[in-house]
Amino acid sequence: MHRLLLAALLFLCTPPALTAQAGSQAGAQATSLRAEIEAVNRGMEAAFAKGDLLGVARFYADDAVLMGPDGERVRGRAEIDRYWTGIRNPRRWTLEALDVGGSATEAYQLGRSSLVQLSDGKERTSVTDFIVIWKRRPGGEWRIAVDMWPGSAP
């Protein structure tokens, strides 16, 4: 019995088995992480589409920092809420996950944002890439800690 247990342990912990196991675990973890982040993105899009901009703002941590083009800076709960509720006539928002990585508690997302607003009766779309740093709260929810977007072409 002990020998069998020992053989099993040694097999599991030999380098090739360990590497293969770690590799498949890492792959599964990456897939699951991407799925989790994409699910949060869907929540942000849904809040935006129904005009719940405070709901969008709540996806950011209270001490998050947003860095837009040309020195645009937004930091902390009050500024983040003001920033998002200041967006006029929201129509829809699409967030693509181009690259997601990190751990179970901290992740990065390189994405593309296509945000549509109504302006003078016409739809206006702003497209920009972004990098977001996500942190998982003790309750398990992901919240944005850092959001940078370099803006679209002038």
Q: Which stretch binds another protein (CB under 8 A): 42-50, 75-83, 117-125, 130-138?
A: 130-138
CA 58 to chain centre: 13
User: Which span (61-69, 78-86, 87-95, 136-144) binds another protein, by CB under 8 A?
Assistant: 61-69
Is 71 a binder of another protein (CB under 8 A)?
yes
- Residue of the chain from 38, 43, 52, 68 that contacts another protein (CB under 8 A): 68
- Give min distance, CB of 94 to another protein, in A: 17
Instruction: Tell whether residue 20 is a contact of another protein (CB under 8 A).
Output: no
What secondary structure letter does DSSP report for 104? S
Write a three-state SS string for 34-53.
HHHHHHHHHHHHHHHHCCCH
Distance CA 78, CA 74 (A): 9
